[in-house]
Amino acid sequence: MSSHSSLIESSATAQLELLMRGDLFSVELTQAYLDSIASRDANVGAFLRVEKDRALAQAASVDKRRQSNKPLGKLAGLPVAVKDVLCDQDTITTCASRMLENFRAPYDSTVVAKLKAADAILIGRTNMDEFAMGGSTENSAFQITRNPWDLERAPGGSSGGAAACVAADMAPLSIGTDTGGSIRQPAGLCGVVGLKPTYGRVSRFGLVAFASSLDQVGPLARTSQDAALLLETIAGHDLRDATSLDRPVPAYSQSVAEPLAGVRIGLVREHFAEGLDSEVASAVRDAVAVYESLGATVKEISLPHSKHAVATYYVIAPCEASSNLARYDGVHYGHRTDEAEMLEELAAERKALEAAKDEVGLSRLDSSLVRMYRKSRSEGFGAEVKRRIMLGTYALSAGYYDAYYLKALKVRRLIRQDFDEAFREVDLIAGPVTAQTAFKIGEMVDDPLSMYLVDLYTVSANLAGIPGISLPCGFDKSGLPIGLQLLAPPLEEERLLRGAHMYEQATDWHQRRPEI
C-alpha cells in the first residue's frame, strides 16, 4: 500500500510527534485524510460535510507558523472530525435535522473554540441520529452511515459518523456526544475507543442540547493514548456552562501509559443476565482474564437498580428533550412551514367546519400562529424526535409529573447510590458495551422499544454522571467488533484511560482494520 495508508493508520499521537519534529506537514496529513474520505466515505457516509478548503488553509497556516517557530496549540496540525451537533461560528450546524438545515450559529461552542485554539484541523462534520436521538444513525435526516466492518450494518449511534470515520481511517480523532451511550455504543460497534467523561468535565456550551442533565461531549480515537490527548484538549471549567466542574484537568496523555497496579475490577452480576450474546459475554470474560493476568483482582458486584436504568432514562431524557426542542418553532431560526399554504389549509378547514356547523370543531381550530408552529415542527423533525417529544410532553403534563419525572429522578439517585456503593469495593467496573454486535440497517426501525433497550449497559453512567470508556476487546464470528466498557467514579477519567491503555498493551484488537 501507499505511504498514505501507513500514515493514516498510525496513531494520532505518532502523527503529532512527526508534525512536531517537522517530519510531516499538516497539509500532507490533512490531504491524506481528505483522500481517504474521498475514496471511502461514499460507502461509509460518515461525513455530512467535509470542510476541505478550510481544513487545508488551516493546515497550511499551522505549517507556516511551525516553520517560523511561532507558538502552536497542543494538537497543531492534527485533523479532528466534529459531530454536527457542536456550534462552529458562522458555519452550518444541522444536528442531522431538516429543522436546522440552514442554521449558522453566530458563535463557537466551547469545545470547537478549544480545538481551534489547539490548532486542530477541523476536517468535517459527522453524521448522527437527528438531535442525537437514536442508537443507529439511521435517524439522520440526510443520510445513512454504514459500519465500516460490514456496510450492511449500522455503526451504532447517535455518534455513528464520529465512530465510523475513525474506524475507517478518515480522521485520526473525532468528537462525539453521549447522552445514553452515544459515544460508547458506536465506538463499541465500530471497534474504536470512545470515552464519555464525567458530567461537567467538558463544557456543554454550544452543544445543541438533547437532554441537558445527561449530555456530555467526549473523544473517539483509535487508542486510549489518542483519546487522552483529545480529552485533555477539550476538558475544563467553563464560566458559560453553570454545570461545568471547576476542577483542574490532569495531563491524561502523560499519565495514560502508567499501568494500574493491583487494580480491583468489578463485574456486574446483572450485566450477564438474559439477552447478552454469548460471544460478547465470552469476549468480555476473556478481557477480564487479561486484566487478571496483569495483576488485577476481580470481584462480582451488584448494581441492583441497573435494571431500571433504561426506564429511568426514557423518562428523563424525553422530558428534557421535549423542553429543549420546544425552541424549534420556526419563529427565530430553523424551518418554517410555507405560510401561504398553511393559511389556505386553515381557511379550507374552517370553511368545512362552518358548512358542517361544527361549533366544537371550530372552537378547537388552531389559530394561524399555532398552526404555523405545528406544521413547522412536524415538517422539520423526524419520526424518532417527534416520538420522544411526545413522550416527554406527556410525562411532564398535568397529572403525570410525579408518577414519571419525579419518580425517575428518585430512581436516578438510587442508581447513583448503587455506583457509590460499588466503587467502595472496586476501582473500575468492567462489562459489555452492548448485548449484541452491530445490527443490520433497518432491523429495528419499526421497533422503538427494542432500539431503546440497546442502551441497557450504557445509560446508567449518564444517569449517575460517571465516566465510561468503550474499547475493542474482540470480534464475533462474523468479524464484527465487540466492545468492553469500563466505568469509574466521577472525575476518574485518568483511571479509565490508564486501565484501557494497559489492556491495549496486552492485546492487539485495536490494531485491526476493516477492509474497505
Partner 1 sequence: MAITRSDVEKVSLLARLQFSDSELDRLTGELAQIVEYVDHLSEVPTEGIEPMAHAVEVHNVFVSDEVMPSLPRDKALANAPRHNDRAFLVPPVLG
Partner 2 sequence: MSQLYTTVIGLEVHVQLATKSKLFCRCSTQFGAEPNTQTCSVCLGLPGSLPVMNRTAFDLSLKTAVALNCVIPKFTKWDRKQYYYPDLPKAYQISQYDLPMSSAGWLEISDEKGSFEPKRVRITRAHLEEDAGKSIHDEAAGKADSEIDLNRTGTPLLEIVSEPDLSSSAEAKAYLQELKLLLTHIGVSDCNMQEGSLRVDANINLHIDTPEGKIATPIVEIKNMNSFRAVERALDYEAPRQFRVWQETGQKIGEAPKQTRGWDDSAGVTRGQRSKEESSDYRYFPDPDLVPVLVTDDQVAEARKSLGELPADLRNRFVQEYGLSAYDASVIVNQGQGVTNYFEQVARESGDAKSACKWVTQDILRLLKDGEQEINAIGVSAANLAGMISAVNDGKLPKPRAKEAFELMLSTGSTAQQAIQELGIEQVDESALVELCRELLDKNPRVVADVQSGKVQAIGALIGQAKKLNPNVDPGRFREICLELAMESSSSE
Residue 339 in contact with partner 1, rule: CB under 8 A: yes
Q: How far apart are CA 231 and CA 488, in angstroms?
A: 16
Instruction: Return the SS3 of 154.
Output: coil
- Do the bridges between strand 173-178 and strand 79-83 make them parallel or antiparallel, or are there none, so unpaired? parallel
409 binds partner 1 (CB under 8 A): yes
DSSP 164-231: HHHHTTS-SEEEEEESSSTTHHHHHHHT-EEEEPPTTSB--TTBPPSSTTT-EEEEEESSHHHHHHHH
| Partner in contact with 503, chosen from partner 2, partner 1, none, beta carbon below 5 to 8 Å by kind | none
The binder of partner 1 chosen from 314, 419, 503, 509 (CB under 8 A): 314
Each residue 82-111 as x (binds partner 2 by CB under 8 A) or -, in order, gives ----xx-----x-x----x--x-xxx-x--
Binding of partner 2 by 31 (CB under 8 A): no
Query: To which residue does cell 494497559 refer?
Result: 502
The phi, psi pair for 165, rounded to 5°, reads: -70, -30
Q: Does residue 478 touch partner 2 according to CB under 8 A?
A: no
List the interface residues with partner 2, window 442-471 (CB under 8 A).
Answer: none
83 tagged catalytic? yes
**Binding residues for partner 2 restricted to 183-222, rule: CB under 8 A:** 204-209, 211-213
Helices (H), 74-159: 110-117
User: Residue 459 and residue 462: Cα distance in Å, rounded?
Assistant: 5
Return the one option of partner 2, partner 1, none that residue 95 interacts with (CB less than 5 to 8 A, by type).
Answer: partner 2
Catalytic annotation, pick one of 158, 224, 244, 322: 158
Taking alpha carbons only, the member of 444, 445, 437, 440 closest to residue 481 is: 437
For residues 326 and 131, give the distance between their C-alpha atoms in angstroms, rounded to a whole number: 13
Q: Binding-site residue total for partner 1 (CB under 8 A)? A: 74
- Using CB under 8 A as the binding rule, whether residue 263 contacts partner 2 is answered as no
Stretch that binds partner 1, among 138-146, 287-295, 408-416, 479-487 (CB under 8 A): 408-416
Task: State in angstroms the smallest separation of the CB of 112 from partner 1.
Answer: 18
Identified binder of partner 2 from the candidate list 401, 410, 413, 447, rule CB under 8 A:
401
Let me know: does 116 contact 61? Beta carbons within 8 Å.
no
Taking CB under 8 A as the rule, does residue 397 contact partner 1? yes
Check if the beta carbon of residue 434 is closer than 8 Å to that of residue 189.
Answer: yes
Residue among 64, 307, 327, 440 that touches partner 2 (CB under 8 A) = 327
Kindly name the residue from 182, 203, 224, 376 that is annotated as catalytic. 182
Binders in 348-377 for partner 1, by CB under 8 A: 367-375, 377
Counting contacts by CB under 8 A, is residue 213 touching partner 1? Answer: yes
Say whether residue 25 binds partner 2 (CB under 8 A). no
Q: Which does 390 bind (CB under 5 to 8 A by kind): partner 2, partner 1, none?
A: partner 1
Establish if 319 lies at the interface with partner 2 (CB under 8 A). yes
Range 427-486, binding partner 1 (CB under 8 A): 448-449, 452, 462-465
Element of type H or E holding 365: none
SS (H, E, C) 396-447: HCCCCCHHHHHHHHHHHHHHHHHHHHHCCCCCEEEEECCCCCCCECCCCCCC
x/- mask, partner 1, residues 168-207, rule CB under 8 A, reads: ------------------------------xxx-------
Alpha-carbon distances of 509 from 141, 223, 498, rounded to whole Å: 33, 10, 17
Q: Looking at 252, 313, 381, 405, which residue binds partner 2 (CB under 8 A)?
A: 405
The answer to whether 496 and 469 are in contact (CB under 8 A) is yes
Residues 4, 35 contacting (CB under 8 angstroms):
yes
Which sign, positive or negative, has the C-alpha torsion 87, 441, 482, 210? positive
Instruction: Examine residue 158 and say whether the peptide bond preceding it is cis (omega within 30 degrees of 0).
Output: yes
Which of 131, 291, 381, 419 forms a contact with partner 1 (CB under 8 A)?
A: 381
By the rule CB under 8 A, 403 interacts with partner 1: yes
Nearest to partner 1 of 106, 275 (CB atom): 106
- Given a contact cutoff of 8 angstroms between Cβ atoms, the answer to whether 281 and 384 are in contact is no
**Residue 373 CB, nearest approach to partner 1 (Å):** 4
Residue count, binding to partner 2 (CB under 8 A): 43
What contacts 402, CB < 8 A, 6 or more positions away? none
Residue at grid coordinates 503529532: 16
Binding to partner 1, residues 239-298 (CB under 8 A): 239, 242-243, 245
| CA separation for the pair 289, 273 (Å, rounded) | 19
Q: Point out the residues that are catalytic.
A: 83, 158, 182
Instruction: Enumerate binding residues for partner 2 (CB under 8 A).
Output: 86-87, 93, 95, 100, 103, 105-107, 109, 204-209, 211-213, 239-243, 319-320, 322-323, 326-327, 329, 331-333, 369-370, 373, 393, 396-398, 401, 405
